[in-house]
Structure 1
Amino acid sequence: MASAPVTLWDGKEHDPHYIERSYHEGILPEGGVKEQFRIQTIRLKTTEEIVGFISMYHGYPQSDSLYLAMMCISGDFQNQGYGQEVMKHFLLEIGLLGYFEIRVNVSLRNWAGLRFWTKSGFNLISGIFGDTEFAEGKFADIELINRW
């Protein structure tokens, strides 16, 4: 599944086994346990075709928080409203499960991602992490929160 040029945002080499490793090992915070990590496919309603995935860690940094490790919509399906539809329903479901906030980490170089997440209500900033100066080969991320 191809999405976007992630290497341009974080400087890391492409990992063709990322999804497989995520499924088997999880994307865990420090001290995290695999049992609290979930990965879910995103499928078209009409054909059940897989067009993306979303992965999350339940209970970080607090027990009533959810941390989005990754959300990916395949390039052929981007900019058609699928991501916003997924996020709208996801936020409703997560609220029903008793979570009061969702956090996501976004590269400061990922302009489309920053627009997507702020449009989805992630309008609180908990921190900026990474390099402290802007330059070639320097990278930083921002952690955004959607809290209700």
Structure 2
Amino acid sequence: MFAYLSAEAHLNDAADIYRSNRAYLSRIDPLPANPADAVRRDSRQLPPVGAEKSFFLIREHGQAVAVLDYLHGYPDADCAYIGLLLVHGRLHGQGTGGRIVADFCRRMRRAGFQRVRLSVLYDNPDACRFWLRQNFVPVARKTVVFRTRSGSMIKAVNVLQKNLR
């Protein structure tokens, strides 16, 4: 069973998960010297108008295993949008991410959402394969502007979706 806790309230554990995923994070914005700064920045980033943001540290059996950032009601009221799922690096390839996704989708279905959507960096084929294995399907490809500490960058993303009904 997974417990979803405030990532900012558990800043050190969330920062440890960020630290264990430097290779992924460097695709967008290299991790600052203090990963807690990146956790704070991400948790406080404002969602699009009309959406509500949740930013969690996920624990399993008392251990910090992942950070999850998602939007309620984006791009529309029937959709939950995953902005970030970072599984602790020591757990990669052990099925933890898949179990988290299954649990999250069950929670969203019970909350009344009809689908879950997310974007995967086009230059991250491993992540794309992971989401396809979770039965997400491609629905679009677009470019996105990421705000970084040094400005911004434009990246291509694949938009994936899973219907919950």
Tell me the TM-score range normalised by the shorter chain: 0.7 to 0.9
TM-score w.r.t. length of structure 2 = 0.72
Residue of structure 1 in register with 2:42 after alignment: 22
- 2:25, 2:107 → 1: CA distance? 32
* 8 Å Cα contact 1:9/1:108 also seen in 2: no
Which string of whole-angstrom CA distances, capped at 9 and with x for unpartnered residues, describes residues 68-123 of structure 1? 11001111111110000111111111111110111111111112110111111111
Tell me what 1:40 maps to: 56
3-state SS in 1 of match to 2:27: helix
Number of matched pairs: 136
What is the distance in 2 between the residues matched to 1:55 and 1:27?
12
Structure 2 residue 84 is the aligned partner of structure 1 residue 70: yes
1:83 and 1:101 map into 2 onto residues whose CA distance is 18
Residue identity matched to 1:118: L
State the alpha-carbon separation in 2 of the partners of residues 138 and 118 from structure 1: 24
Decide whether aligned partners of structure 1 residues 27 and 103 sit closer, same or farther in structure 2, where only a CA change above 3 A counts: farther
* Secondary structure in structure 2 of the residue aligned to 1:145: strand
**For structure 2, which runs of at least 5 residues remain unmatched after alignment?**
1-15, 146-152
SS in structure 2 at match of 1:18: helix
Q: Following TM superposition, by how much is the alpha carbon of 1:145 offset from its aligned partner in structure 2, in angstroms?
A: 1.0
Amino acid at match of 1:124: P
Percent same amino acid among aligned pairs? 21
Q: Which of structure 1's runs of 4+ aligned residues deviate more than 3 A?
A: 7-10
Flag the structure with higher strand content: 2
Matched, 1:87 2:101: yes
Q: CA RMSD in A?
A: 2.3
Alignment-mate amino acid for residue 38 of structure 1: S
Equivalent AA in structure 1 for residue 140 of structure 2? S
**CA shift in 2, pair 1:21/1:130, >3 Å:** closer
Task: Extract unaligned runs of 5+ from structure 1.
Answer: 132-136
